[in-house]
Amino acid sequence: MSTTKKASAALISVFHKDGLEPIVKKLDELGVTLYSTGGTEKFIKDLGINVVAVEDVTSYPSILGGRVKTLHPKVFGGILNRQDNEGDVAQMEEFNIPQLDIVIVDLYPFEKTVASGASEQDIIEKIDIGGISLIRAAAKNYKDVLCVSSMEDYNRFLELISAGNGETSLEDRKWFATKAFNISSHYDCAIFNYFNKDHEQAALKFSETQGKVLRYGENPHQQGFFFGDFEAMFDKLHGKELSYNNLLDVDAAVNLMEEFKNDAPTFAILKHNNACGLATRATIKQAYIDALAGDPVSAFGGILIANTEIDKETAEEIHQLFCEVVIAPSYSQEALEILKGKKNRIILVQKPVELPKMLVRTCLNGALLQEKDAKTDAIEDLSYVTDSKPTAQELEDLIFASKLCKHTKSNTIVLAKNKQLCASGTGQTSRVDALNQAIHKASHFEFDLNGAVMASDAFFPFPDCVEIANKAGITSVIQPGGSIKDQLSIDYCNENGLSMVMTGTRHFKH
């Protein structure tokens, strides 16, 4: 039996009618009988095209304020019957059920209604019942029926029926069925997450309908994908396609710069998800120059991000460095022309989009879900635990270093001075190793650590770190506290004139 089907009848019932007119006209031109309800029926009639009301087929009106319109055996029988099944064919004739070969249905905008801040009653009314049922039925019976479940696919559908003179292949119908189940499953996921927003049920429902295949994953032998609406967050102005590793670094850069979005001009340079340069200055050009000074070697091939517009002077400095990605809220026209001088350099404009509040990662044979670390240490959070107190400049540097420490892989130590990253020890199994790494790196790049501050993502179980820091010239320390041996570090600071503050908040990042 041929798998090609020529449509004779279509059911059309949609919430969004943009782009529907040419489809209706083409189906009418092809001699396809049209069935519809409510507003869509009126839309078709207003085009001067004949349409059969679903109520005339079911002999039952739309009831309960429109909640029940198409939920009837004469509708679902027309969709779900198997055209190669003799019993189904006989029952179609016995009960006078019209064959439906095409179903064009979309869903009430549930997610948009939730996002709009509508009342609970309005949100509940946007839980589609008839539409979701029609989509599932038509997609299930893709061997005989083609289901168009989104206005995004109107053009593809119109091209298909125009080229095939109303005929579709099994492959075509299965493609549309796959898209339909993608939409219906996402819709149900959104509804569940609305009802379970307080996570009273320990269940994870995660759905993204948009995605793209990446060149490869973390390494060339691994397959990689990105799922999400990248264009909602960025305008990509120039450069090659972003890789898996680029996306991870961009994510780290955006989350770090979120800490400084309301600060004076700040520039960060990241490599492998960690900042190798960060500075806050009076101008974005000087912030970039001082961020680069933090580690000009690691900056090669890095990800650059600014919290304010990149101007011509800053772009001229950036252009001297090979970097993968540049991110900013805006660019001057002159800056863009300069930065576009490297054909592969990715230039992104970051839009003001809210970042996810929950973090998900695979673990063992399942997944881990946690709230994002939304706590940013502030001066009002600090406990002054030593005899010596930080100066005003040291307090600014301590908060600066703490913000960066929060976004650096544990175990980590961050050294900063005058709102500039001097060096950090990242991802070490020992806090002492992290500190020694940071001191060595700062020395290598000729930073004077006298008067610098130190931030730690977790407490000091022993006084060894404050002792090493003191000998390197560091004068003030910020750490969470909470060790049963906190007093040992406090005593050392008091004996040697260091100031230390505790935040009460640990910032592990693994």
| DSSP string computed for 60-84 | ---BGGGTBSS-SHHHHHHHH--TT
Torsion on CA atoms 405, 265, 449, 470, rounded to nearest 10: -40
Angle at 507 (CA atoms; ends 504, 510), nearest 5 degrees: 155
Active-site pick, 6, 17, 26, 140: 140
Helix (H) or strand (E) holding 193: helix 170-195
Would residue 140 show up in a list of annotated catalytic residues for this protein?
yes
Q: Cβ-count burial of 106 within 10 angstroms (0-12 exposed, 13-18 middle, 19+ buried)? A: buried
Spatial separation of the C-alpha atoms in residues 446 and 434, rounded to whole Å: 18
Q: In the 8-state DSSP scheme, what is residue 205?
A: -
* 193 prior amide bond cis, ω within 30: no
Q: Any residues with CB less than 8 A from the CB of 76 and at least 6 apart, and which? A: 133, 134, 137
Question: What separation in angstroms does the CA of 480 have from each of 373, 376, 405, 437, 503?
Answer: 14, 12, 11, 21, 5
Beta strands 366-371; 358-363: pairing state: antiparallel
Question: What separation in angstroms does the CA of 85 have from each of 4, 6, 80, 88, 100?
Answer: 17, 18, 11, 5, 16
Would residue 510 show up in a list of annotated catalytic residues for this protein?
no
Confirm if 279 and 291 have CB atoms less than 8 A apart: yes
CB atoms within 10 A of CB 271: 21
Spatial separation of the C-alpha atoms in residues 269 and 273, rounded to whole Å: 10
Active-site pick, 174, 272, 312, 342: 272
3-state helix, strand, coil in the chain (%, to 5): 40, 20, 40
Beta strands 5-6; 167-168: pairing state: antiparallel
Helix (H) or strand (E) holding 236: strand 234-238
Spatial separation of the C-alpha atoms in residues 80 and 92, rounded to whole Å: 11
Spatial separation of the C-alpha atoms in residues 433 and 464, rounded to whole Å: 11
The catalytic residue positions are: 140, 272
